[in-house]
Amino acid sequence: MDKQMLDYNIRVRLPIILVAVVVAYFATFFAGFKERNMVGYAPEQPIKFSHKLHAGDLGMDCRYCHTAAEKGRHAGVPSTDTCMNCHSVARADMPEIKKLKEYFDSNEPIPWVRIHKTPDFVYFNHSVHLASGIDCAQCHGDVAGMDVVQRTKPLSMGWCLECHRTPQEQLIEVTGPDNQKSAQLVRKHAGGQHCSACHR
Amino acid sequence: MKEIKEPTYWTSFEELHKDPSHLDGRTNEFADGADEVIKLEDMSGVSRRRFLALLGASAALAGTGCTNYRGHGKIVSWSKQPEGVVLGRPNFYASTCSGCEDACGVLVKTREGRPIKVDGNPEHPMNQGKICEKGQGSVLALYNPERIRKPMKSLGKDKGFQSLEWTQIDSEVQARLKALGTSRVAIVTNTVNSPSTARLLESYRSQFKADVFAYEQFSDSTRQKAWKLSHAQGSFPSIAWHKADLILGFESDFMSAGSERMKTVREIASRRSLDNGNHFTRIVLVEGDVSMTGANADIRHAISPVYHLDIVLGLLHEISVVRKLSDYGSNPSFLKLVSGMDLKSVSEKTGLDLASLTGLADDLVANRGKAIVHAGDLHSLNVHLAVNLLNAALGNQKLYETKQSKVQFFPVHSTQELKALSDALLAGIYSVVIHLDCNPVYDLPADLKYAEALGKVSTVITFAQLPSETTHLSHYVLPDNHDFESWGDYQNKEGIISLQQPVISAIYDTRQAEGCLLSWSTAKPYTQDLWHDFVRNRWEKEFYPGLKLSADFVSFWNSCLHDGVFQFAYKPSQLSPIIVEQTVSSVQKSQSTGFTLILRPSYSVGDGRFASNGWLQEMSHPISRVTWDNYVAVAPAVARKLKISSEDNVSIKVGEEKMILPALVQPGLNENTLVVEIGYGRQNSGVVATGVGFNANRFLKSSGGLSAHIYDGVELNKAVGSYTLASIQEHHQIDLKGPGILLEKLTDPHLRREIIRENSLTAHQADPQWLAKRQEFKKKHVFSIYEEEQKYPDVKWAMSIDQNKCNGCGICVVACSSENNIPVVGKDQIKRGRTMHWLRIDRYYSGKAETPKISFQPMLCQHCDNAPCENVCPVGATTHSPEGLNDMAYNRCVGTRYCANNCPYKVRRFNFYDFRSNFAKGHYYNEPMDLAMNPEVSVRSRGVMEKCSFCVQRIMDSRQEAKKAKVQFNGLGVTTACQDACPTEAIQFGNVNQPETNVAKAREHELNYHVLEELNVKPNVTYLARLRNSREEVKS
Judged against a pLDDT cut of 70, whether residue B969 lies above it is answered with yes
Check residue B743 and give its pLDDT: 47
Judged against a pLDDT cut of 90, whether residue A172 lies above it is answered with no
B77 vs A41, A109, A132: nearest CB:
A109
Q: Would an 8 Å CB–CB cutoff place B937 in contact with chain A?
A: yes
| Interchain contact, A79 vs B937, CB within 8 Å | no
Quick check: B470 and B462 in contact, CB under 8 A? Answer: yes
Question: Model confidence over B559-576: pLDDT tens digits?
Answer: 999 999 999 888 877 777
Cα of B755 to nearest chain A Cα, Å: 30
- Beta bridge partners, B651, equal B660, B717
**B795: Cα separation from own chain's centroid:** 34
Check residue B209 and give its pLDDT: 87
Q: What is the mean pLDDT of residues B347-363?
A: 90
Q: How far apart are CA A102 and CA A99, in angstroms?
A: 5
Q: Would an 8 Å CB–CB cutoff place B887 in contact with chain A?
A: yes
In 3D space, the residue among B574, B578, B492, B573 whose CA is nearest the CA of residue B226 turns out to be B578
Task: Tell me the pLDDT band of B616, cut-offs 50, 70 and 90.
Answer: very high
Residue B781: DSSP 8-state: T
% of chain B beyond a pLDDT of 70: 93
Q: Would an 8 Å CB–CB cutoff place A80 in contact with chain B?
A: yes
Q: Would an 8 Å CB–CB cutoff place A40 in contact with chain B?
A: no
Check residue A126 and give its pLDDT: 93
Q: Would an 8 Å CB–CB cutoff place B885 in contact with chain A?
A: yes
Check residue B408 and give its pLDDT: 84
Q: For the stretch B1002-1036, what's the b/e string if a residue is b when 16 or more beta carbons lie within 10 angstroms of its beta carbon?
A: bbebebbbbbbbbbbbbbbbbbbbbbbbbbeeeee
In 3D space, the residue among B462, B463, B440 whose CA is nearest the CA of residue B510 turns out to be B463
Q: How far apart are CA B770 and CA B4, in angstroms?
A: 8
CA atoms within 13 A on the CB side of B12: 20
Query: Three-class SS of residue B835?
Result: coil
Check residue B278 and give its pLDDT: 64
- Beta bridge partners, B769, equal none
Q: What is the mean pLDDT of residues B890-896?
A: 92
Check residue B742 and give its pLDDT: 47
What are the residue boundaries of the structural domains of chain A, listed by start? 3-31, 156-200
Question: Model confidence over B797-850: pLDDT tens digits?
Answer: 999 999 999 999 999 999 999 999 999 999 999 988 899 999 999 998 888 888
Angle at B409 between CA B407 and CA B410, to 5 degrees: 125
Question: Model confidence over A94-118: pLDDT tens digits?
Answer: 999 999 999 999 999 999 999 998 8
ipTM (interface predicted TM): 0.86
Give the DSSP per-residue string, B95-138.
EE--SSTT--EEEEEEETTEEEEEEE-TT-TTTTT---HHHHTH
Task: Tell me the pLDDT band of B229, cut-offs 50, 70 and 90.
Answer: confident
Q: How far apart are CA A184 and CA A188, in angstroms?
A: 6
Helix, strand and coil percent figures for chain A, each rounded to 5: 55, 0, 45
Chain A CB contacts of B891 under 8 Å are 119, 121, 199
Quick check: B108 and B503 in contact, CB under 8 A? Answer: yes
Burial class, B357, CB count within 10 angstroms (exposed 0-12 / middle 13-18 / buried 19+): buried
CB contacts < 8 A, A to B, total 121
Q: What is the mean pLDDT of residues B584-612?
A: 86
Check residue B739 and give its pLDDT: 40
Check residue B774 and give its pLDDT: 76
Judged against a pLDDT cut of 50, whether residue B1034 lies above it is answered with no
Check residue B3 and give its pLDDT: 43
Check residue B912 and give its pLDDT: 92
Query: Three-class SS of residue B445?
Result: coil
Chain A CB contacts of B890 under 8 Å are 121, 199
| Interchain contact, B80 vs A81, CB within 8 Å | yes
In 3D space, the residue among B934, B733, B904 whose CA is nearest the CA of residue B819 turns out to be B934
Question: Model confidence over B748-802: pLDDT tens digits?
Answer: 555 567 788 888 888 888 888 888 887 777 777 677 788 888 889 889 999 999 9
Q: What is the mean pLDDT of residues A12-30?
A: 92
Check residue B779 and give its pLDDT: 72
| Interchain contact, B80 vs A199, CB within 8 Å | no
A196 vs B77, B956, B960: nearest CB:
B956
Task: Tell me the pLDDT band of B921, cut-offs 50, 70 and 90.
Answer: confident
% of chain A beyond a pLDDT of 90: 44
Check residue B2 and give its pLDDT: 41
Q: What is the mean pLDDT of residues B442-448?
A: 89
Cα four-point dihedral sign B295, B296, B298, B300: negative
In 3D space, the residue among B499, B406, B457, B391 whose CA is nearest the CA of residue B124 turns out to be B499
Angle of helix B195-208 versus helix B513-522 axis, rounded to 10: 40
Burial class, B655, CB count within 10 angstroms (exposed 0-12 / middle 13-18 / buried 19+): middle
Check residue B751 and give its pLDDT: 55
Q: Would an 8 Å CB–CB cutoff place A107 in contact with chain B?
A: yes
Judged against a pLDDT cut of 60, whether residue B736 lies above it is answered with no
Quick check: B29 and B756 in contact, CB under 8 A? Answer: no
Q: Are strands B400-401 and B238-239 parallel, antiparallel or unpaired?
A: antiparallel
% of chain B beyond a pLDDT of 90: 53
Q: How far apart are CA B1006 and CA B768, in angstroms?
A: 7
A195 vs B72, B88, B879: nearest CB:
B879
| Interchain contact, B77 vs A71, CB within 8 Å | no
Q: Would an 8 Å CB–CB cutoff place A197 in contact with chain B?
A: yes
Task: Tell me the pLDDT band of B277, cut-offs 50, 70 and 90.
Answer: low
| CB neighbourhood size of A56 (10 A) | 16
Question: Model confidence over B161-194: pLDDT tens digits?
Answer: 999 999 999 999 999 888 888 889 999 999 998 9
Cα of B74 to nearest chain A Cα, Å: 5
Helix, strand and coil percent figures for chain B, each rounded to 5: 35, 20, 45
Q: What type of residue sits at position B396? A: N
Residue of A nearest to B86 (CA): A68
Cα of A127 to nearest chain B Cα, Å: 7
Q: What is the mean pLDDT of residues A21-43?
A: 85
Residues 81-100 of A with CB under 8 A from B: 81-82
What average pLDDT does the structure give for chain B? 87
CA-to-CA separations, B556 to B543, B546, B553, B626, B633, in angstroms, rounded: 11, 13, 5, 48, 53
Look at chain A and count its residues: 200
Chain B CB contacts of A199 under 8 Å are 887, 889-891, 938
Structural domains present in chain B: 9-24+768-782+794-1028 (3.30.70.20), 90-142 (3.30.200.210), 224-404 (3.40.228.10), 593-727 (2.40.40.20)
Q: How far apart are CA B280 and CA B247, in angstroms?
A: 11
Question: Model confidence over B68-107: pLDDT tens digits?
Answer: 566 778 888 888 888 888 888 899 999 999 988 889 999 9
Check residue A176 and give its pLDDT: 59
For the ranges A72-86, A129-143, B309-323, B774-788, the lowest mean pLDDT is seen at B774-788
Q: Which residue has the higher pLDDT, A186 or B297?
A: B297
For the ranges B333-342, B835-844, B1025-1034, the lowest mean pLDDT is seen at B1025-1034
Could you give phi then psi for residue B674, rounded to 5 degrees?
-120, 145
Q: What type of residue sits at position B656? A: E
Check residue A72 and give its pLDDT: 87
Cα four-point dihedral sign B260, B264, B265, B270: positive
Quick check: B1014 and B750 in contact, CB under 8 A? Answer: yes
Cα of A18 to nearest chain B Cα, Å: 19
Residues 106-145 of B with CB under 8 A from A: none
Check residue B433 and give its pLDDT: 93
Question: Model confidence over B684-719: pLDDT tens digits?
Answer: 888 999 989 999 999 998 887 888 899 988 999 999
Judged against a pLDDT cut of 90, whether residue B373 lies above it is answered with yes
Q: Are strands B595-601 and B184-189 parallel, antiparallel or unpaired?
A: unpaired
Q: How far apart are CA A80 and CA A85, in angstroms?
A: 9
Residue of A nearest to B76 (CA): A111
Q: How far apart are CA B60 and CA A23, in angstroms?
A: 20
Quick check: B488 and B500 in contact, CB under 8 A? Answer: yes
Question: Model confidence over B626-653: pLDDT tens digits?
Answer: 999 999 999 999 999 999 988 999 999 9
CA-to-CA separations, B286 to B250, B361, B638, B739, B909, in angstroms, rounded: 5, 13, 20, 37, 39
